[in-house]
Every structure is written in C-alpha cells, then in structure tokens.
C-alpha cells in the first residue's frame, strides 16, 4: 500500500495513523472496521466482478466506500495491517452449515496477526455476526467478547478422518461461539490468490447462500447490529431484541443503504437468478 492508500483507509475507519502496531491498536482497528465497513454481497447481484487483487479490494473499500464478503474484507484489512507493521498471515477456513456440515475448501478467509508487543491474534472482520475484537490465537479456554463467548480449540478429525498438519501444533482449529462451531481453520498460511476458487464459487454457484439472498450488515456503535436483506431492515439491540421493518419503496431502500451503510447505489439490488443445473 502507498501512504495515500493507508491514509484513505484509515479515514474510512475514522482513525489516525497509529505510532506502533500494538495489540491495543489492533483491537481498535478491528472494532472500527466492523462498525464502518459493512459485510455485504451486493456485487454478486449487481453483476460486479469480484477480483482478489489488493488494489481492487482497497479501491472498493476506500474509493467506492463499499464493503464485501470475507475474501474482500479480510483481504483488504490484512493488507492495511501489513502496511501498518503487523505480521499477517491468511488462513483458510471451512464454515459449518446449519446441519453441521463443513463447506467447501477456501470457504472462508481469516487472519493470524502478530503484534509489536509479542501477541498473536485471530482477526476476522468478514464473518458477519462474530467477535467484536480479535481472539487470542493460542488461548484454548473461553474468551468473553461482546459478540458472545468464544473458544479457539484443537479440531478433531474432519469427515475424511484428517486433523490437518502432521506435526504437533499444526493441526486444524475450530472457532466456537456460544458452544456452536462456526468454522474449521487451517493453520498453514495461504496467499490471497489461493482463495480465488472459493470466491468464484460463492459468487456464481446456485448452491452458495450468497447467490440466494441479499445481505448488507454492520455492527452499530452501541454493540448491536443493523442488517438490510432485500427490503427487510432488521435492527438488533445489544440484548438480542430484533426490530424488523419492511421497506415499501425503492427510495426508502436506497436511503437506508446511503444513510445507514454509507453506500451510494443508483438502483435497488435484487436477487439474481442463478440456475441450478444437474
């Protein structure tokens, strides 16, 4: 990243350039990202190409003032963190579905981040409703977070009977929220381009939940969440109370995108028809 790109990204987050890449600064960057840059799949339904190249990801976040899904959000955030002096590695995950089945390889992208004060964190600003702050990567006990009670634990065998790496400490990890596994994480570092097949599948396959629905969601300042799914606006308070509202007109929808998510659109996105063949 250039100095101009770094400053533009930090302006989007409403933060000044930090003096050192510490754990405290990482927590603030992580939280501001969740509050400012929405988790959204609008590109899938607007017919916009999703390309996992650093410049394209940065331009989308800083110039277009958009969000994205995990590959885009954590890809861009990882680039920013690296430019600020953090040691960042991209990790591949497989997300657990509603029936407890694991998704495709390269289903998810998360970040392992090492700070100047010697800590290692699992950072993830691209999973929708998740931890508000980075999770301690080496901690195997419970970690209380405003987003829930989390654990990062050694994973058992996957459906193929594989635990991951053969050497001690190199096996897969499970990220658990409130007792329910969220995703299974490889510990081997990957390159951004490795996730291209996963991004393509999620943006084109009729079996992907991203092609079957619209979502735009971000954390609110008070720790709640606001989500727009098509025309349904849902506000979730800190205690979990939900207030749904159906938006009647296109102008209402565009106004919510603009005023609540900072996204300027010329037309209301609608779910595209991805034909299921075979």
Phi-psi label, residue 85: left if phi above 0, alpha if psi -120 to 50, beta otherwise: left
Q: Are strands 120-123 and 242-246 parallel, antiparallel or unpaired?
A: unpaired
| 70 catalytic residue (yes or no) | yes
30, 33, 45, 108: the active-site residue: 108
Where does residue 168 rank: exposed (0-12), middle (13-18), buried (19+ CB within 10 A)?
exposed
What does the DSSP assignment read for 52-106?
--HHHHHHHHHTS---B-HHHHHHHHHHHHHHTT-EEEEEEEEEB-TTS-B--TT
Structure tokens at 121: 């964190």
For 27, 87, 120, the CA distances from 114, given in Å and listed in that order, are 12, 5, 4
CA nearest neighbour of 80 among 132, 7, 187: 7
What distance in Å separates the CA atoms of residue 194 and residue 158, rounded to the nearest whole number? 21
Half-sphere exposure of 53 (CA within 13 A, CB side): 5
Do 211 and 204 form a contact (C-beta atoms < 8 A)? yes
| 158 catalytic residue (yes or no) | no
For 26, 52, 91, 113, 257, the CA distances from 134, given in Å and listed in that order, are 8, 23, 14, 9, 27
33, 124, 133, 216: the active-site residue: 124
Structure tokens at 9: 């990204």
Other C-beta atoms closer than 10 Å to the C-beta of 3 total 9
| 124 catalytic residue (yes or no) | yes
Question: What residues are labeled active site?
Answer: 70, 108, 124
């Amino acid at each position: 990243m250039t100095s101009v790109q770094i400053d533009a990204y930090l302006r989007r987050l409403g933060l000044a350039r930090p003096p050192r890449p510490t754990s405290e600064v990482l927590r603030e960057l992580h939280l501001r990202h969740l509050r400012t840059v929405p988790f959204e799949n609008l590109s899938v339904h607007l017919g916009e190409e999703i390309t996992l190249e650093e410049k394209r990801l940065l331009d989308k976040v800083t110039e277009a003032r958009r969000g994205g899904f995990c590959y885009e959000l954590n890809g861009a955030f990882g680039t920013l963190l690296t430019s600020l002096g953090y040691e960042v590695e991209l990790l591949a995950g497989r997300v657990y579905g509603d029936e407890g089945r694991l998704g495709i390889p390269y289903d998810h992208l998360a970040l392992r981040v090492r700070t100047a004060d010697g800590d290692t964190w699992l950072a993830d600003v691209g999973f929708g409703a998740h931890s508000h702050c980075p999770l301690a990567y080496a901690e195997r006990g419970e970690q209380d977070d405003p987003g829930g009670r989390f654990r990062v634990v050694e994973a058992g065998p996957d459906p193929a009977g594989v635990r991951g790496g053969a050497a001690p400490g190199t096996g897969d990890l499970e990220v658990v929220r409130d007792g329910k596994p969220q995703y299974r994480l490889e510990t081997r570092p990957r390159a951004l381009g490795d996730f291209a097949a996963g991004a393509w599948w999620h943006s084109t396959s009729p079996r992907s939940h991203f092609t079957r629905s619209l979502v735009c969601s971000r954390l609110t300042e008070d720790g709640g969440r606001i989500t727009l799914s098509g025309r349904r606006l849902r506000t979730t308070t800190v205690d979990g109370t939900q207030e749904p509202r159906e938006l009647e007109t296109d102008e209402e929808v565009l106004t919510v995108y603009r005023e609540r998510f900072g996204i300027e659109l010329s037309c209301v996105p609608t779910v595209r028809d991805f034909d299921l063949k075979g």
